Structure 1
Amino acid sequence: MTEPLIELKGVSKTFGSNKVLDNVDLTIYRGEALGIIGPSGTGKSTILRVIAGLLNPDEGEIYIQGVRREGLIEDQVDPVSIGMVFQQAALFDSLTVEENVGFLLYQHSKLPRSRIHELVKEKLEMVGLSEIVNLYPSELSGGMRKRVSFARAIMSNPDNPKDSPEVLLYDEPTAGLDPIASTVIEDLIRHLQIAQGVCSTYAIVTHQDSTIRRTADRLVFLYQGKVQWQGTVSEIDSTDHPLIKQFMSGSVQGPIQVVG
């Protein structure tokens, strides 16, 4: 492995009386596809928000390309830009697809509208949706909304290349989609990883078997706020670790407590 791009050291986070993350160490290397898996409610989405700088841990340290982060993302500029694709796409219902995808540039750049339109079309072409710029989110299918959120996440400002995301964080990108729509999204995630000029590093939270196998190379298993297992995707079928065996088989029998 190369030098770590992102490191979490001893990160903990508590909401009320619930300790969601408990002294978690996690590393993301440049160019890798990291899958974060585990039962519901075990801190997977929380850890993405901590990495993105949207949530402060109660304890622990976060390093971005060797530089310790202090505070939230608005408190300092990370040496590496991080984009996030939220589970529910998080599009603005009152804005068109073009306005959603180009939101960053419309709000924070001096580019003319004609140039922003070109950049939006470029990103939408990358996700296979170049002809829907004037539609609203309510007019799109679930899979299309997800792809629009991908286009927004990879939008860059040519006047400030440092704003271009080098890391993408995907929070349950195939949740609620049928198997065919899921395959489209899984293929797109891999395509964006290898596409020239688009970030090659990502972390993905998912429960879906096909998404785990088709989009991740290395896996981290979270349970009860702790990293319980790490390994490659190829190892999930051969490991004797009881948590992995139960999780991947979907059995109600085993060490993972079933919430009734």
Structure 2
Amino acid sequence: MTEPLIELKGVSKSFGSNKVLDNVDLTIYRGEALGIIGPSGTGKSTILRVIAGLTALDSGDVFIKGVHREGLIEDGTDPLGIGMVFQQAALFDSLTVEENVGFSLYQYSKLRRSRIQELVHEKLEMVGLSEIGDRYPAELSGGMRKRVSFARAIMSNPDNPKSAPEVLLYDEPTAGLDPIASTVIEDLIRQLQCIQGSCNTYAIVTHQQSTIRRTADKVVFLYEGKVQWEGSVSEIDTTDDPLIRQFISGNVSGPIHIAG
């Protein structure tokens, strides 16, 4: 893994008086499965939104495939596609599953409706939901909604190869799911990394230990707006770092301040 796809250099971001990112450096390499962990409210989701070009920086720089990004994603075109799976799936309640997954193509492509439906069916089949295109989000379980959001994130326009995502960003993909549904989602994340040759790089924000251990290869620990530790998943169990030890054990005593 020698080619950096995404680089954050000296990135800072505040919301009012709350500084959630403080001079953060982060690099994601091609083929990497990166887990971003840390206590609640420490900027993990904000990092994903910065990478996706959805949140403006206060200071610092973002490089996508070595190209400096100016402004937000809407202000220009990145040299690679980035797909994002939001924490609550973020589906349109008034649209069917098929319309949700094919939304970007219906809105921005010139493809025939029948062709879009073929592509939607293909993506739903990849996430194990090939027969639910006519249902609405309210008719689905939490795990099914998450999988639909995965299908939407990997959708691309075959007439525009640059629209195919090379990087996927997962924000708490197993939050609120039971252990079995979580395992289904964790397996799917790894399967998509293999099936989708173009999007085999991803970053995942999670609190769940099973998700950390089953979906990540490398882990960064974010606390007080900074990357405090990074290492492989196996090093989580061997490091003497007091922040990691407290976080993984769930101990209320330690250097991590517990908001009261």
TM-score (norm 1): 0.99
Residue aligning to 2:190: 190
Q: Displacement, 1:197? A: 3.9
Residue aligning to 2:202: 202
Q: Displacement, 1:259? A: 1.4
Which region of structure 1 is more displaced relative to structure 2, 176-185 or 194-203?
194-203
Q: Displacement, 1:3? A: 2.0
Q: Displacement, 1:196? A: 4.0
- Distance across 1 between alignment mates of 2:71 and 2:198: 27
- Distance across 1 between alignment mates of 2:2 and 2:14: 32
Is 1:222 the counterpart of 2:222 in the alignment? yes
Q: Deviations over 1:200-255 (max 9, x none)?
A: 00000000000000000000100000000000000000000000000000010100
Extract unaligned runs of 5+ from structure 2: none
- Distance across 2 between alignment mates of 1:74 and 1:17: 27
Residue aligning to 1:29: 29
- Distance across 2 between alignment mates of 1:58 and 1:22: 10
Q: State the Cα RMSD in Å.
A: 0.6
1:166 counterpart SS class: strand
Residue aligning to 1:15: 15
2:199 counterpart SS class: coil
Residue aligning to 1:136: 136
Residue aligning to 1:213: 213
- Distance across 2 between alignment mates of 1:96 and 1:46: 29
Is 1:164 the counterpart of 2:164 in the alignment? yes
- Distance across 1 between alignment mates of 2:206 and 2:91: 20
Q: Which residues in structure 2 correspond to 1:1-260 (within 5 Å)? A: 1-260=1-260
1:47/1:196 CA distance change after superposition, 3 Å = closer
Structure 1 consecutive aligned stretches of length 4 or more whose deviation exceeds 3 Å: none
% identical equivalent positions:
83
2:256 counterpart SS class: coil
- Distance across 1 between alignment mates of 2:57 and 2:208: 27
Q: How many residues are paired up? A: 260
TM-score (norm 2): 0.99
